Amino acid sequence: MASRSPLYSLHASSGASFALADGWEVPSTWTSPLQEAHTARHACALWDRSPWGRFQATGKDALDLLNRLSTNRLDDLPPSRGRQTVLTTNKGRCLDWLWVFRLSSGLLLLTSPGAEEAVASWIDTYTILEDASLTSLTTTTALIGVVGPGAEGTLGEVVGLPQGMGRGDAWEGHWEGTPLIALRTDALALPQWDLLAPAPHAPRLWSALRQRGALPLGESAVEVLRVAAGIPRRGKEITDAYNPLEAGLWESVSFNKGCYIGQEVLARLKTYGKIQKALARLAFPRPVPASTPLWAEGKRVGVVTSSAVDEDGPIALGYLDRPFLEADREVEAVLPAGAPVPGRVVWAPSLPPAYQAPPGAGEDEDSP
């Protein structure tokens, strides 16, 4: 049976349509994906992120353990701050892309939807004598994303959020006598604060934000925003078929920290320029489904991993072989039947030794 958010009944009563994703019954749309995406880009939208896994990690060795298991440097993480990091296999392939926040009660881990069990099992495998333990918060809390240029003002009015929080900042406070945590994540390359609240109080918090003018954001609109921003997602761009560098997660990888699982592989790829493919943004005249092969110059050169329809037309993410990672490069999506669909590369990374961050990429994790 699919899991449901603590906000499910509220969503259903407000006219949401639902879909199954990652073992959860999630709100897909309220109005239309483009209308909801427009709200997120220009006003204030509410995204129910409750399917995203949540752990509290405690014990004196917890931070050091996570530092040794993942790609980014965490051992110097300041209080009330977070960083993104990747759990990788011994071959340097992606397991999941996490946020790790250092709070007064311990560490808070945010996993991808459907990844909670895999992350917990992976960490447990490498926990031997360390004083570290994980407690799941996924069923006892809700996670509400408040997204858009109007989010900060709305949160200041409703929950008393302090102004000026930067990406990666965390705030611990209360709302109507209930503990509340706000995390600045900008998960869709827009201003975004994720509110972690006890599950019983989440519907009241959602309603209070709606009363201040925030509008709901369904998963279909989230996909539009995510694909447009070039943000990879577990199960699509983040799988054990790819490593973090191919997925464009350079800001989540430290190349000057100590050893971690998969570190030697990633270091060699960067040092010797051996990255053979990478994630790119694409545009087509009509929608092209995920898993569609991409061809150019008479050969297969990549694959579509995600697609959506934005205001200017169909867009997609896909992995392309290195020689074809050029803006405006023409490719063809070869469908099982019918004529190939012509497309072009909208943005592609310039791989080492001169790596180029994409427009709108997150700032340095420790910048104010």
Identify the structural domains of the chain with CATH numbers, from first to last: 8-50+138-228 (3.30.1360.120), 51-135+243-272 (3.30.70.1400)
Q: Tell which wins on pLDDT, 90 or 350.
A: 90
pLDDT at 353: 58
Determine the residue type at 129.
L
How far apart, in whole angstroms, are the C-alpha atoms of residue 333 and residue 341?
Answer: 5
Q: 75-84, pLDDT tens digit by residue?
A: 999 999 999 9
pLDDT at 223: 98
Q: 261-277, pLDDT tens digit by residue?
A: 999 999 999 988 899 99
Count of C-beta atoms within a 10 Å radius of residue 361: 14
Give the residue carrying structure tokens 């109007």.
150
Determine the residue type at 234.
R
Contact in structure between 148 and 42 (CB atoms under 8 Å): yes
Residue 354 predicted with pLDDT over 50: no
pLDDT at 357: 52
Residue 187 predicted with pLDDT over 80: yes
DSSP 302-313: EEEEEEEEETTE
Q: 127-168, pLDDT tens digit by residue?
A: 999 999 999 999 999 999 999 999 999 999 999 999 999 999
Q: What is the CA radius of gyration of the chain?
A: 20
Rounded to an integer, the average pLDDT of 175-202 is 98
Residue 366 predicted with pLDDT over 60: no
How far apart, in whole angstroms, are the C-alpha atoms of residue 63 and residue 125?
Answer: 16
Rounded to an integer, the average pLDDT of 27-40 is 98
Average pLDDT, the chain: 95
CA distances from 13 to 37, 96, 220, 325 (A): 21, 34, 19, 46
pLDDT at 363: 39
CA distances from 171 to 46, 82, 155, 196, 364 (A): 19, 11, 12, 10, 19
What the block records as the tokens of 235 is 């199960």
How far apart, in whole angstroms, are the C-alpha atoms of residue 295 and residue 24?
Answer: 35
Residue 237 predicted with pLDDT over 50: yes
DSSP 8-state code for residue 361: P
pLDDT at 367: 35
State the virtual CA torsion across 177, 183, 184, 186 in degrees, nearest 10. Answer: -120
Rounded to an integer, the average pLDDT of 337-351 is 93
Residue 344 predicted with pLDDT over 70: yes
Among residues 252, 279, 281, the alpha carbon closest in space to that of 167 is found at: 252
Count of C-beta atoms within a 10 Å radius of residue 107: 22
Residue 350: pLDDT band (50, 70, 90) is: confident
How far apart, in whole angstroms, are the C-alpha atoms of residue 115 and residue 89?
Answer: 14
pLDDT at 368: 30
Exposed/middle/buried for residue 367 (C-beta within 10 Å: 0-12, 13-18, 19+): exposed
Q: 115-132, pLDDT tens digit by residue?
A: 999 999 999 999 999 999
Residue 365 predicted with pLDDT over 50: no
How far apart, in whole angstroms, are the C-alpha atoms of residue 238 and residue 241?
Answer: 8
Question: What is the pTM for the complete model shown?
Answer: 0.94
Element spanning 209, H or E = helix 202-211
How far apart, in whole angstroms, are the C-alpha atoms of residue 345 and residue 183?
Answer: 33
Give the rounded percent of residues in the chain with a pLDDT score beyond 70: 95
